Amino acid sequence: MKNILLLLSYLLIINSYTYSQWLQTNGIPAAPVNCMTVSGNNLYAGITFASTNGIFLSSNSGMDWNGIGLPNRTVNGIAISNEKVFAGTDSGVYVTTNNGTNWTAVSYGLSFKNIKALAFCGTDLYAGSTGIWKSTNFGILWFQTSLTNFPIKTILISGTTIFVGTNNNSIYLSSNNGTTWNNMNLPNQNISSLIITGSDIFAGTLNGVFLTSNYGINWKPVNNGLTYLFINGLVADGNNIFAGGGSVYESTNSGTNWIEKNEGITQPFAVNCFLVSGGYIFVGTTHIGIWRRPLSEFIGIKKISSEIPSGFSLSQNYPNPFNPSTNIKFNIPPFEGGLGGIIGLKVYNILGQEIALLVNEKLQPGVYEIPFSINQFPYFPSSSGIYFYKLEIINNNSKLIFSDTKKMLMIK
């Protein structure tokens, strides 16, 4: 009996981590989630017009959310300085110093109160509406900067540089506290999101993702693998870049290729925004709340060659034997009839029990490599031994068209 209980416990543990996927969090109503931010252990989310609350707070790593006020408001931006939480809404800017117990309007001087973005640069607070507005005294008084008339969609702060994305009027940057603005030469695009990683600046638009590595002198589209080109959200974590619109995508090579990462989200959805915090990535959606996933699950599948293979194949892992990490390479040719399909790569123990899911997604034709480390799976068996990895390809008609299994040795 004891052995049976131990086996059942083991199988339950395996189930808890085998299927790497997004999990829906609790407490967010079925309304668009427009923005998310973090301060210390607190996560904040702003949603579109709701009769109960327009802003929500989580203090347990984003698993549970509670409304903290601003009913009948649409919250499009959240900015935090010390104990002050500012919310940019469809009726101006509000501030709380006690996590929502009381809110105070701080919109004096704002001629346009439909705030679409809010951000601090140092101690200066910037609001995007029609043009960019600035407050040097925490919202007590606002004045308009020299960037006027353009409808603002997003604000990005990098050091002392301010980037703003507009609706069909390019991207602008200021390095002198908003006194002057320089056009970054991406016209006729609806700029919904901006991120900067090193010397690369990415812009999410209704026509996909654009990249510049020279501050806007040249832009290029980087949309290979995007099945939906409208991009509402971007976020970066190390070498991983995430883009979201009609799906969630990840790129590990500066946008050269994108891979869909929707595992676990079974309902139709669209992404509005992202947040990375506490080892998790969060997705705010249009109508099914906020979803969470450990960053450790994005383990860096890479397209390592522009070669288009002539057939499916699975290579021997290397190094082999390994401890604690190894690499697995496989080839994906064009699917017959251009139908596409699902690529699955799993690891099994010697009893045939699945213990790790490495890939479960659509991939473009190419040569791929994925690292596998036992450290990424907390309940991976600690003993040395033989393990198996299996590649399965299922086409869009749900037919298994390729399968191959290889053996690898883990030594402790």
Is pLDDT larger for residue 4 or for residue 372? 372
User: HEC profile for 204-236?
Assistant: EECCEEEEECCCCCCCEECCCCCCCCCEEEEEE
**Which 3 state secondary structure label does DSSP give 303?**
strand
- Chain-centroid distance of CA 153 in Å reads 18
Q: What is the mean pLDDT of residues 135-140?
A: 97
Q: Partners of 156 in the beta sheet?
A: 163
d(CA 120, CA 112): 19
d(CA 223, CA 208): 6
pTM of the model: 0.75
What is the residue-wise DSSP string for 157-174? Answer: EETTEEEEEEBSS-EEEE
pLDDT in tens, 181-217: 999 999 999 999 999 998 999 999 999 999 999 999 9
What is the token pair recorded at 268? 């139709």
d(CA 144, CA 135): 9
Q: What is the mean pLDDT of residues 359-369?
A: 84
What is the structure's pLDDT at 20?
A: 60
Residue 279's pLDDT band, with cuts at 50, 70 and 90, is confident
Dihedral-angle region of residue 172 (phi above 0 means left; psi in -120 to 50 means alpha; beta otherwise): beta
Q: Is it the case that residue 9 has pLDDT exceeding 50?
A: no
C-beta separation of 332 from 301 below 8 A: no
Residue 78's pLDDT band, with cuts at 50, 70 and 90, is very high
Backbone angles phi, psi at 244, to 5 degrees: -145, 140
Residue 269's pLDDT band, with cuts at 50, 70 and 90, is very high
What is the number of other CB atoms lying within 10 angstroms of the CB of residue 277?
A: 19
In sequence order, which residues have a C-beta less than 8 Å from that of residue 352 and are 6 or more positions away? Answer: none
Residue-range domains of the chain with CATH: 21-296 (2.130.10.10), 302-410 (2.60.40.2550)
d(CA 129, CA 153): 8
d(CA 412, CA 407): 17
Terminal Cα distance for the chain, rounded: 30
What is the structure's pLDDT at 4?
A: 41
Residue 341's pLDDT band, with cuts at 50, 70 and 90, is confident
d(CA 117, CA 192): 10
In sequence order, which residues have a C-beta less than 8 Å from that of residue 84 and are 6 or more positions away? Answer: 95, 96, 97, 138
Q: What is the mean pLDDT of residues 63-73?
A: 96
Q: Which of 36, 142, 31 is nearest to 79 (CA)?
A: 36
d(CA 292, CA 60): 12
In sequence order, which residues have a C-beta less than 8 Å from that of residue 6 and are 6 or more positions away? Answer: none
What is the structure's pLDDT at 382?
A: 66
Q: Partners of 87 in the beta sheet?
A: 78, 94
d(CA 97, CA 83): 6
pLDDT in tens, 41-57: 999 999 998 788 999 99
